[in-house]
Structure 1
Amino acid sequence: MEIAFYGDSFIDINDKVVPIDERGHQFGDGVYEYVKVYNGTPFLLDEHLERLEKSATKILLQLPYSRNEIKELIQEGLQRSSLKDADIYIQVTRGIAPRNHLFPKNTPSQFAMTIRSGKVLSNEQREQGVSVMILEDERWANCYIKSLNLLPNLLAKQKAFEQGHGEAILARNGYITEGSSSNIFAVKDGVLYTTPATNRILHGITRAAVITCAHQLLIPFKEYDMSEDFLLHADEAFITSTSVEVLPVSKIGDVTLSTERPVTTALANAYRALYEQDKTRA
């Protein structure tokens, strides 16, 4: 059963509860996280909650619950839902107050969470990979904050979709930043590359886990400002995110990449082994 939590209680996921003066609704004034659950175990939960705390701090938002209290809410929600494989979405906003650009005073922040059946990519989708296109990065300067302000991401994703692609890879001044909802990696001459974790990109939890896997597999790795041309001439490329895990890129615009993906496959298997270990502990 899919379930939700809003304010201070669990509710039916179809209940309409967000007031018109909710600042997340009015201004996008909030932050969020998305956690994958495998066999009842939220994967890399501490890493996700640490990033939620950092994002909240950067926008001067006080979380209404401690990390341990959020963990308890997640566990209670999973028990109520009886879902073993789930997608958890957490959102925290600056609360409910009459519309004003200034922060409201003495207004408690609002916590929302949904627990839904986990989305799974088929083996065929993973084997086929994803086609992407490069678009100009028109987002704000602090993309490392996981804020609710995703309109530029949505526009890029939609444009890519309308032109037959599954993801938009964003570039700023000719250099690759990340995907509209993913991080991007490239492989050239056996070396793994990805954009440095600066304010220009989201510091992906899956991104960090894949880098750890690369070190464990002794795959040479560099954080590197990749030009568009560098990506187009990569031997392999793949995107990472909580939802797609490690997904090979089959095509970049009109450029088709090789179906021989030894590094991508090794990293995908290593990442899968991480959450399989968590599943066995559940």
Structure 2
Amino acid sequence: MSVYPIIMTQSSFTHRDNLKYPYEERGLQFGDGIYEVIRIYNGEYYLLQEHVDRLFRSTAAVKINLDVTKEEMTHLLLQLLERNKMTEDGKVYLQVTRGSAPRDHVFPEGVPANVYAYVQDLERNTEKINTGVPTITQRDVRWENCYIKSLNLLPNVLAKQEAKEKGCYEAILHRDGIVTECSSSNVYMVKDGKIYTHPATNNILHGCVRMRVEKFANELGVPFIEQSFSVEDIADADEMLLSSSTSEVMPIISVDNVKIADGKPGNITKQLQQAYMEDANISEANKVEN
């Protein structure tokens, strides 16, 4: 995937070739920052306000001061698509760090945050959305503030790599056998017509698509229960699914080489997928075949 040429930095724009990364940057040296990934369909943001709201929740949680308001950040992000003449499906990666200063664990004083965002093309993964994906389970060894979308993703990276090396799409994380979420997505179990997922505590990221899944379930009359389930419960699941901005609503067809039910996407998952596509205004030609 090639990066579009215009990069947003702080409150202005520059060509990617002009962007210089200072070596004393707290995001690079400490992981002292946060980020967002925002989905684009047909050149339009999906859940933009939800992502901007979470961005500001995360910066507040780690005490990073932004010099822009939510409204100004929203306007800048809209300009970013316009200046790149973005009309396709894609994503924006947005990062905020505490800034550039001589290396010291203590916060630097009077240093502005570093902000940048860039646009990439990203087609929908319709094949996997249609067929579902295999997963593995991994012990959740992350910190206890996973609700902050921070740059400290090494445990997530290692879990995702382990899944890839085992021919799987995702790693389902658990703490002492209790499922939390996946390495880069939220996860759900369907049992007896009800959707179960970990409560929105500090131990999981409060996904923007997760909030939409809850909304869709309520509209469909499917109970959405924020209640933890265990790795052992997965064997008896009727359906499993995951969600994220890039995975959308993705069926899980196996966990640790064990099929979920008949190993095919379930009816509730398909209903949620349909609701997602309608909500995101995805064109008929680009829809999932149910």
TM-score when scaled to structure 2?
0.92
Q: Secondary structure at the match of 1:276?
A: coil
Residues 134 and 168, structure 2, Cα contact 8 Å, conserved in 1: yes
Distance in 2, Cα, partners of 1:239 & 1:260: 12
Q: Which residue of 2 aligns with 1:86?
A: 90
* More displaced 10-residue stretch of structure 1: 172-181 or 77-86: 77-86
> Aligned match of 2:33 in 17, 30, 33?
30
Q: Which residue of 1 aligns with 2:76?
A: 73
Query: Partner amino acid for 1:108?
Result: P
Residue 12 (str. 1) matches residue 15 (str. 2): yes
Residues 87 and 119, structure 1, Cα contact 8 Å, conserved in 2: no
Query: Partner amino acid for 1:61?
Result: I
Query: Partner amino acid for 1:274?
Result: D
Distance in 1, Cα, partners of 2:141 & 2:17: 34
Residues 39 and 246, structure 2, Cα contact 8 Å, conserved in 1: yes
Residue 273 (str. 1) matches residue 278 (str. 2): yes
Residues 90 and 122, structure 2, Cα contact 8 Å, conserved in 1: yes
Q: Which residue of 2 aligns with 1:121?
A: 125
Alignment of 1:29-68 (within 5 A): 29-68=32-71
Query: Partner amino acid for 2:101?
Result: A
Q: Which residue of 2 aligns with 1:102?
A: 106
Alignment of 1:123-142 (within 5 A): 124-142=127-145
Q: What percent of counterpart residues are identical?
A: 41
Structure 1 position 272, deviation (Å): 1.0
> Aligned match of 1:111 in 108, 111, 115?
115
The one-character-per-residue Cα deviations of 1:28-78 (angstroms, maximum 9, x if unpaired) are 101111111122321111111111111111101111321111111112111
Q: Which residue of 1 aligns with 2:267?
A: 262
Distance in 1, Cα, partners of 2:119 & 2:265: 37
Residues 196 and 224, structure 1, Cα contact 8 Å, conserved in 2: yes
Query: Partner amino acid for 1:265?
Result: K
The one-character-per-residue Cα deviations of 1:249-280 (angstroms, maximum 9, x if unpaired) are 011012112215100000110111111189xx
Give the count of matched residue pairs: 278
Distance in 2, Cα, partners of 1:52 & 1:235: 35
Residues 119 and 243, structure 1, Cα contact 8 Å, conserved in 2: no
TM-score when scaled to structure 1?
0.94
Q: Secondary structure at the match of 1:143?
A: coil
Structure 1 position 125, deviation (Å): 1.8
Query: Partner amino acid for 1:121?
Result: N
Distance in 1, Cα, partners of 2:117 & 2:96: 9
Q: Which residue of 2 aligns with 1:187?
A: 190
Q: Which residue of 2 aligns with 1:203?
A: 206
Residue 160 (str. 1) matches residue 163 (str. 2): yes
* More displaced 10-residue stretch of structure 1: 111-120 or 17-26: 111-120
The one-character-per-residue Cα deviations of 1:200-246 (angstroms, maximum 9, x if unpaired) are 00000000101100000001221111010112321100000000110
Distance 1:260 1:7, change over 3 A: closer
Residues 64 and 111, structure 1, Cα contact 8 Å, conserved in 2: no
* More displaced 10-residue stretch of structure 1: 203-212 or 33-42: 33-42
The one-character-per-residue Cα deviations of 1:95-145 (angstroms, maximum 9, x if unpaired) are 0100000000111111110111133212x2212211100000000000000
* More displaced 10-residue stretch of structure 1: 113-122 or 168-177: 113-122
Residues 183 and 240, structure 1, Cα contact 8 Å, conserved in 2: yes
Query: Partner amino acid for 1:271?
Result: Y
Query: Partner amino acid for 2:191?
Result: K
- For structure 1, the 5+ residue unaligned runs are none
The one-character-per-residue Cα deviations of 1:159-210 (angstroms, maximum 9, x if unpaired) are 1111111100000011000000000011111111111100000000000101
Q: Which residue of 2 aligns with 1:220?
A: 223
Query: Partner amino acid for 1:187?
Result: V
Distance in 2, Cα, partners of 1:39 & 1:56: 29
- For structure 2, the 5+ residue unaligned runs are 284-290
* More displaced 10-residue stretch of structure 1: 206-215 or 222-231: 222-231
